[in-house]
Each structure stands twice: as C-alpha cells, then as structure tokens.
C-alpha cells in the first residue's frame, strides 16, 4: 500500500469517524432513550458510542496491519546518502483519532420534556466546542497529509527533518555507546551528542514516524559513530548490503553484540 493510499484511506475513515460522532449524539442517543427496559436502552447507547468512536480507528489499523513491519533498509542516493522516509501508518492513525475526537465536540442537548435533541443553545459552549472541533479536525488532516518526518545519514552526520525544522548532528559529536535499541512501545529513541560549546544535548527521534526498523537504525547510527573509516561509503548500495548483513549477524546473537555489525561491514 502506497503512502498516498494510506492517506486517502485515513481521510475517508477519519471523515466517517467525525460523522459517526455526530450521528451518535443526534440520532443513536435519542433512540436509546425510547427503548424499554431502560437498562437495555442504556446498554445499546453505550454500544453505539463505542462503535462510533472506535470503529474507524480499529478498521484503519486492521487494513494497514501489513505496514507494522518496517524494513531494515534505507533509501539509497549517491547525493543524499541514506534516507529514511516518513512512516505513513502511525501519523495517519493519529489523524483518524483526531478527526474522531472532533466529531465528539459537536455538542447536543436534550429538548426539555421530549426525547429530541438539538444543537446546544449555550452561546459560549457552542462557540468553544465548535472552535475545538475545527482545531482537532485541522490537526487531524495535518497529521495525515502534511506531517513530514525524515532522516538522512551522510558521510558528515545525521540530519533529522521535521515540520518544525531540522537538526544536524556530526558523527564526531555523537555520544559513546548510543543510541540504544528502543523498546517496542518506546515513543522516542534518544541520540545524545555534544555541541560545539561542549554542552550535551539529545536528539529524540520518533520510531513511530520513521519508515525503518528501529532495531536496525539504532546499531547503524552507533556503528558509524564508532567506525569513522566506514562513513565515506554511506549512500552506496554495497554499503547498505554490508549493513544489512551485519544487522542479520548482530540480530542473531543472544546478547546482540555490537561487534557483529562492525565485523560484517569490514568484510
């Protein structure tokens, strides 16, 4: 599934989630009030709420489940070095959740002495909820279509590109022994480095937003930080093949010895 297909799917399901939230407030909930016995109506109302809120995100994750497994590979370009594109699945899933949340902000109130609902008549609440709904919907679409999170490895160092700018870290300034392979649920992969003024800083890469296996990326960064003689070959197909062979050897050792990656790269 291409990145564009993922974004289109997320937009369609996100719009459906937004509409489902509105439909639940204005149709399903009033319908549950008319069902007898009362307990059954409450149960059906809660079921409708859960389906309307969780259906679209769960369907999106189900349809894109094959994208969970990110490759142990980089994009190769003689001028750009090794590149890592944005992982389309996780930003798009966040966008679907934001659009779902936006639908819940279209507030309704019960008409007194009836089983009917209407848009809230409270002026302040109407404006506040409307503004919040528009903001959440805009953020959701931005996550789906505009979020760009890219990483570039060159013979000079690492450059992380985000919507807020870029951060370049020369190989010589990387902290020793890192970065470590992040856990399965880790939100960031910290890369420690020293600035020119001697202060230590941390570049926090997001494994969720990069289309590469973080278990491959972390030891490769550590490898180039510790093996400067290999940096000149960054961006070539031969170097990528050596890295992948080294990763297979490293990943197959019980204690994940870093020397396996270096040994394979030297061959």
148/142 Cα distance (integer angstroms): 10
pTM of the predicted protein model: 0.78
Non-local (6+) Cβ contacts of 58 within 8 A are none
Non-local (6+) Cβ contacts of 55 within 8 A are 17, 20
The DSSP letter of residue 161 is: E
57/36 Cα distance (integer angstroms): 31
Residue 10: its pLDDT value, please? 95
Residue 83: its pLDDT value, please? 94
Non-local (6+) Cβ contacts of 85 within 8 A are 3, 75, 150, 210, 211
Return the structure tokens found at 208: 């969720």
Q: What is the dihedral of CA 54, 57, 58, 64, to 10 degrees?
A: 180
CB 223 within 8 A of CB 258: yes
The DSSP letter of residue 189 is: E
- What is the per-residue pLDDT across 86-97, written as a single tens digit (0 to 9) for each? 998 989 999 999
For 86, the 3-state DSSP assignment is strand
64/68 Cα distance (integer angstroms): 8
Which portions of the chain are predicted below pLDDT 70?
28-36, 38-42, 44-45, 48-49, 52, 78-79, 108-126, 251-267
For 127, the 3-state DSSP assignment is helix
Residue 78: its pLDDT value, please? 61
- What is the per-residue pLDDT across 196-206, written as a single tens digit (0 to 9) for each? 888 899 999 99
* Overall size of the chain counted in residues: 267
Residue 267: its pLDDT value, please? 44
């Amino acid at each position: 599934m291409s990145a564009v297909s993922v974004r289109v799917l997320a937009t369609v399901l996100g719009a459906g989630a937004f509409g489902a939230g509105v439909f639940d407030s204005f149709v399903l909930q009033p319908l549950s009030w008319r069902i007898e016995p009362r307990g059954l109506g409450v149960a059906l109302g809660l079921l409708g709420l859960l389906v309307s809120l969780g259906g679209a995100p769960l369907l999106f994750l189900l349809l894109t489940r094959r994208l969970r497994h990110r490759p142990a590979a980089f994009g190769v370009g003689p001028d750009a070095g090794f590149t890592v594109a944005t992982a389309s699945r996780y930003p798009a899933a966040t966008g679907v959740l934001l659009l779902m949340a936006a639908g819940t902000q279209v507030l309704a109130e019960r008409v007194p002495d009836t089983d009917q609902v209407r848009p809230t008549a409270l002026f302040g609440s109407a404006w506040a909820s409307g503004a919040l709904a528009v903001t959440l919907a805009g953020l959701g679409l931005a996550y789906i279509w505009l979020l760009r999170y890219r990483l570039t490895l060159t013979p000079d160092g690492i450059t992380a590109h985000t919507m807020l700018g870029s951060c370049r870290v020369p190989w010589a300034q990387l902290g020793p022994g890192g970065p470590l392979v992040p856990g399965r649920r880790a939100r960031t992969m910290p890369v420690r480095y020293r600035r020119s003024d001697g202060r230590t800083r941390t570049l926090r890469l997001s494994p969720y937003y990069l289309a590469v296996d973080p278990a491959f990326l972390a030891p490769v960064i550590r490898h180039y930080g510790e093996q400067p003689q290999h940096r000149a070959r960054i961006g070539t197909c031969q170097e990528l093949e050596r890295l992948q062979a080294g990763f297979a050897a490293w990943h197959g050792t019980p204690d994940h010895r870093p020397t396996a990656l270096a040994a394979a790269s030297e061959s």
